[in-house]
Amino acid sequence: MAERPEDLNLPNAVITRIIKEALPDGVNISKEARSAISRAASVFVLYATSCANNFAMKGKRKTLNAGDVLSAMEEMEFQRFVAPLKESLEVYRREQKGKKEARKDKDKKTDSEEQDKSREEDNDDDDERMEEEEQNDEEEVDN
Amino acid sequence: AEMAAARLSGTENRLVSLPLSRIRVIMKSSPEVSSINQDALFLTAKATELFVQYLATYSYKHGRGKEKNALTYTDLSHTAEECETFQFLADILPKKILASKYLKMLEKEKRDGEVREDDDEGEEEEDEDE
């Protein structure tokens, strides 16, 4: 399946913002420079993916995992990224865990409320809850 | 170390600014990749942000654009050529040359090719300018 060219590009506004925040205030970034950095970023993703995939294959796995990406960074001579990436990953995992628990709490709350209602209404709520759980699964599993 | 402290929260205090969905599209365009776990997707997005920051700051620091308080394409292309870490970008960030120089290069290549052939036919080509 062919991707349209723009699908492999990253959003200009976000790229520009990242560049601006990295450079001293007031530095002008030419449109050409911005476009070049955006292309470079896409190439970086491809290179990193390919490299990470090699590590996954070495480990006889079909799914790229966090370790593969970190190994790729070292391989690509971006060791300087490894420490900040590990820190960010911890925060990200805590966030994801928090979200998951928030969903479970919400479900528990719905449960206890259900017990007060009549059986007919209980059935409807059960259906709703099942839909939510299916959504949760989709979010976590990659296709 | 200073990168970690300053950039951990990303732009606007978000953990990552680049959209994971778009990063995933690019990653999946590689035919040999089957699936990507969520942590790997996040790390790739975050690494790309760090990369953008690094490429921009390195190029600015080592380039001439800052003489005019700017980051230019030439600064970037210079980085790709001079810095080993960024050499994988050399093909997509080629040095710019003047069109007239490029045309002369083509002319020269063409002439070099013709010299190897039969001289009998030889029509002399003259340079237009110079």
* Domain count across chain A: 2
Q: Between A49, A66, A70, which is nearest B33 by CB?
A: A49
- List, in order, residues 6 or more apart from A139 with CB less than 8 Å away: none
Please give the distance of CA B34 from its chain centroid, rounded to a whole number: 28
Assigned domain for A126 exists:
yes
A4 lies in the same domain as A58: yes
> Dihedral sign, CA of B23, B25, B26, B28?
positive
Assigned domain for B88 exists:
yes
Q: Which residue of B has its CA nearest to A22?
A: B53
Q: Which domain holds residue B84?
A: 35-113
pLDDT band of residue B3 (cuts 50, 70, 90) is low
Q: Which of B80, B117, B124, B130 is nearest to A33 (CA)?
A: B80
A63 lies in the same domain as A109: no
Percent of chain B at pLDDT above 70?
78
Between chains, do A19 and B36 touch, taking CB under 8 Å as contact?
Answer: no
What ranges make up the beta strands (E) of A3-101? 28-29, 63-64
Question: Which of residues A116 and B17 earns the better pLDDT score?
Answer: B17
- List, in order, residues 6 or more apart from A103 with CB less than 8 Å away: A132, A136
Question: Which of residues A95 and B119 earns the better pLDDT score?
Answer: A95
Q: Which of B18, B73, B86, B59 is nearest to A18 (CA)?
A: B18
Shortest CA gap A106–chain B (Å) = 23
* Domain count across chain B: 1
* pLDDT for res B63: 95
Q: Which domain holds residue A99?
A: 82-138
Residue with tokens 């209980």, as numbered in its chain? A122
CATH number for the domain that contains residue A62: 1.10.20.10
pLDDT band of residue B33 (cuts 50, 70, 90) is very high
Look up the ipTM and state it. 0.74
Average pLDDT over residues A20-24: 97
Between chains, do B39 and A66 touch, taking CB under 8 Å as contact?
Answer: yes
Shortest CA gap A30–chain B (Å) = 6
- List, in order, residues 6 or more apart from B52 with CB less than 8 Å away: A15, A18, A19, A22, A37, A40, A41
Each residue's pLDDT tens digit, B38-79 = 999 999 999 999 999 999 999 999 999 999 999 999 999 999
A91 lies in the same domain as A60: no
Say if residue B4's pLDDT is above 60: no
Between chains, do A46 and B30 touch, taking CB under 8 Å as contact?
Answer: yes
Instruction: Locate A16 and state its tokens.
Output: 């520009």
Q: Between A3, A33, A53, which is nearest B33 by CB?
A: A53
Assigned domain for B122 exists:
no
pLDDT band of residue B1 (cuts 50, 70, 90) is low
Assigned domain for A143 exists:
no
Q: With b meaning 16 or more CB within 10 Å and e meaning fewer, what string describes B2-14?
A: ebbeebeebbeee
pLDDT band of residue B128 (cuts 50, 70, 90) is low
Residues of B in contact with A46 (CB under 8 A): 26-27, 29-30
CATH number for the domain that contains residue B103: 1.10.20.10
Each residue's pLDDT tens digit, A79-113 = 999 999 999 999 999 999 998 888 888 888 777 77
Between chains, do B43 and A140 touch, taking CB under 8 Å as contact?
Answer: no
